[in-house]
Structure 1
């Protein structure tokens, strides 16, 4: 498991750097992204956070796609039948909470590595100590459970949209504080 996490973080590091445009001197940008876990939300052309699309940011989608759904032998392809809906009347596959929270937590860890304004060392890029990030993981779980408790249909729509975005089915769907709810706009989220 340790080497799996290391390889996952090295791949995620490349994606996060590209998606967020990280470079030397980016401490203010990183601080803004970490505030209220803004990094899990996409933004529009003017930089406005799209609060109705949590976990739909480019870094999360690209990282999940490339780590779990890249090719016929990937975890996502091999375990397709395990991606089930929380709705009895709907068989659209969904991503599991654990997968989404793991990747979001990994992105947080990568951003923290860049918070000093300098690129992280090779050791930092490879390092991912899960016990030091368990609080962030749980914060992401709370966000997803808040959505679930607010509306199972909205939760399903989100997790099914994420599944489509990361799997081979439809790749066109992708377009601080420990609270991830500051930007969350549950009322604006779609149910179908």
Structure 2
């Protein structure tokens, strides 16, 4: 954990050395996740890649799990835009394509695989993952709510679940089946989700 003086430095000088070290270490953590995966990631490897001493990392983050968690949260804070095309099917398709493109970025795939590898062994990571997805699905459910307001579909019992239907197949194929994902795949997913929601084709 950061000392009182380090926290004060970060607060007073957001562009100062403390902020630069934090950014370099989190960037190096993501790069190490891509390069070696969570299982082989070490504080020493991150320190070498970031160009800092390992004691700097231990002093601020304490352990590998806390470091990886903060790197995950930092990367996960980059939101996928929620489209508003006037058509639920098109909204779901564009959103799915954006999530698919994001999931193919090496850092994103590495983070997703790390979360899957950690599972429930670290309650902090598990809770962070649940919070992340709850927030994402709540934001994405706005597409379904707008379609309801337009009279395009009847009010669904669970708008977030329809959004989940678009996202879940992407991560299932990434982590489990390893089947191909392309534009045609996303069109089929969007068609099915829109049909379940009650949209007319």
- Relative to the length of structure 2, the TM-score reads 0.31
Higher relative contact order (CA 8 A, sep 6+): 1
> Which structure has the highest helix share of the two?
2
Please say which structure displays the higher CA radius of gyration. Answer: 2
TM-score normalised according to structure 1 size:
0.32
